[in-house]
Chains A and B, each alone.
Chain A
Amino acid sequence: MKKYICSICGYVYDEAAGIPEEGISPGTKWEELSDDWVCPMCGAPKTVFEEEESDVNAAPEKEVGADRNTEEVRKLSFAEMGALCSNLSKGCEKQYRAEEADLFNRLSEYFGNKSGITEHKGFEDLSELIQQDLNSGYSTANDSALNNGDRGALRALVWGEKVTKILKTVLMRYEKNQNALLEDTNVHVCEICGFVYIGNEAPEVCPVCKVPNMKILRVQRR
């Protein structure tokens, strides 16, 4: 009996266990799962799963260039300042500083309004931006964080890259199934890492950041 791991969210399909609640009885071989079977956690197709053993010695060393550079941190956009201030607001909230949290929130809202929204774009434009992050943004940043021994940055990058791959899958599924994908179910977002889950109830813990599901919130349809 073998195990297969989803390369996107880390879900493990165990042949020995099957998934009885989905009608897949214990002992069901990987090959016996239908081709359109998808990861029950993130909806990724069967093709992105890897056999457990084959994964152990993988992870090739990446060529790391001398990327230490002294370029000044460029100015932040309004959109980023909005996110920066909402992040600081959450930080104050965790310290039980309600007044400061509210002040940072007001700044965040101001920058959000200044920034506005981007019009006349569609899901296909989003997919393109996601692909850019996956093609270059994350590999550059991962190299840089590794090179500088910055495990905090690596942590954010590991979570973010997983969530980005999941967003890519979600958009692929939506393109294929259109509204049928969401019609009879719910959409949830993890407020810690951004993990998006399509299903009736959020999983017990977030598969990306492992936070309990009290922090995975349902997005209302309206």
Chain B
Amino acid sequence: MHAVRNVRLCTKDCLCLYVCPTGATDTEDGQIDAEKCISGCRACVDACPSHAISLVPDEYPPQQEKTDAVKKALFALSKSKAEQEKVAAGIADSSDDPIVRQLARAISKSNRVMAEDLLREAGYMLPQSQNVKSFLQSLLDTPQPNDFPIEVVKKLMEKI
């Protein structure tokens, strides 16, 4: 469990700098230095008057099982939302009218958010979950077009 800072909540009262035993909280980019942070120490978390610092686990529990029936129903909807995102993007792309483009882009965005949420609940919530690992592995195991960014997938498999 190492500490992370939400810079948007940080009010720069600097108490985290006073209490950190390793200097991990004092960095040029506002992020807490994970290398220096002592796992589970939480001195900065408790000292922060703005609740801008929290602990993020290094390991996560297995995710909730999803039934096939629920997955199937969610996938049917996410497919529809993904299609609507494309239709709206097509309307935005083909129109010269800035208002039509604005409305179509809003609808496209809205559908992307809904599709993401449905897929999250269909078993792809946690990036480190087994489902996501299997998904990435399947991308490596099946033939892909020449332009497929295979090095991106390999890097993700390593880091996640």
Hey, which bits of chain A sit against chain B, CB under 8 A? Answer: 67-74, 76-77, 79-80, 82-84, 86-88, 90-92, 95-97, 99-100, 103-104, 106-107, 110, 114-123, 125-126, 129-130, 132-133, 137-138, 140-141, 144-145, 147-148, 150, 152-153, 155-157, 159-160, 163-164, 167, 170-171, 174, 179, 182-183, 187-196, 214, 219-222
Contact = CB atoms under 8 A, between A and B. Distances in A.
Contact of B64 (A77, A91, A152): A152
Given A87-B120, A129-B80, A163 B110 contact: yes
Interface of B: 4, 8, 31, 56, 64, 66-91, 93-94, 97-107, 109-122, 124-127, 132, 135, 145, 147-149, 152-153, 155-156, 159-160
B113 A190 contact: yes
Contact of B77 (A138, A152, A189): A138
A141 B66 CA distance: 13
A63 to B, nearest CB: 16
Given A103-B156, A133-B77, A91 B67 contact: no
B110 A120 contact: no
B80 A132 contact: yes
Q: Is the interface of A mostly helix, strand, loop or mixed?
A: helix
Nearest to B98: A221
4 tightest CB-CB pairs across the interface, nearest first?
A79-B82, A141-B73, A194-B113, A87-B116
